[in-house]
């Protein structure tokens, strides 16, 4: 059986995917297999048929991730959470072991920037905390206090929000970040 999906890609497509991602040929085939398994009929019609965010979030790696919906929204080329195969390939590329830390940081920032204003505001940080802890674990006042402490430690220009540079600086103090920002095929 193996990975002989030669009919699924032209040589030109496969070459382009390898050039444009951090994935090997084998990983591209594995990504296709995983994507196709979500809706074999729809993907067989065209691998560019987008799948719903709800369907993509049934993947084990996203189902247990508190940011699964945000990951889909950030990688969706249509910006509505629907994911085409190329969107999925981009996602798998960024989450691969081979992607550089700088790329992983850029996407993590986008995932955490819930309002899309290119800053991690107190509201964004509060939402991150709420998603990371059990529901109703923190009282709103406790969440606000924790956000205040985070900003106190990481908001270098004291504007009550984190820019990408401030986020990058803060994450540089967490050496495990690159190791845990991974989805393996």
Domain count, the chain: 2
Record the pTM. 0.91
Answer yes or no: is 103 within a domain. no
Which residues form the domain of 83? 6-94
Answer yes or no: is 34 within a domain. yes
Rounded Cα distance, 88 and 34, in Å: 10
CATH number of the domain to which 14 belongs: 1.10.238.10
Within this chain, do residues 88 and 132 fall inside the same structural domain, yes or no?
A: no
- 28-78 tens-digit pLDDT: 999 999 999 999 999 989 988 999 999 999 999 999 999 999 999 999 999
* Burial class of residue 7, CB neighbours in 10 A (0-12, 13-18, 19+): exposed
Rounded Cα distance, 63 and 57, in Å: 5
- Residue 147: CB atoms within 10 Å: 20
Within this chain, do residues 13 and 74 fall inside the same structural domain, yes or no?
A: yes
Within this chain, do residues 75 and 142 fall inside the same structural domain, yes or no?
A: no
pLDDT at 27: 96
């Amino acid at each position: 059986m193996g990975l002989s999906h030669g009919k699924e890609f032209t040589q030109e497509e496969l070459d382009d995917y390898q050039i444009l991602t951090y994935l090997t040929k084998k990983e591209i085939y594995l990504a296709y297999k995983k994507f196709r398994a979500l809706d074999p009929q729809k993907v067989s019609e065209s691998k560019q048929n987008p799948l719903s965010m709800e369907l993509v979030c049934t993947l084990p790696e996203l189902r247990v991730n508190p940011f699964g919906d945000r990951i889909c929204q950030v990688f969706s080329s249509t910006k509505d959470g629907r994911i085409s195969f190329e969107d999925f390939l981009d996602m798998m590329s960024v989450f691969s072991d081979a992607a550089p830390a700088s790329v992983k940081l850029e996407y993590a920032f986008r995932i955490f920037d819930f309002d899309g204003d290119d800053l991690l505001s107190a509201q964004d940080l509060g939402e991150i905390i709420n998603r990371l802890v059990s529901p109703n674990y923190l009282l709103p006042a406790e969440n606000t206090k924790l956000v205040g402490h985070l900003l106190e430690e990481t908001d270098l220009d004291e504007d009550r929000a984190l820019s990408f540079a401030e986020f990058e600086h803060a994450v540089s103090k967490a050496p495990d970040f690159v190791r845990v920002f991974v989805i393996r095929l």
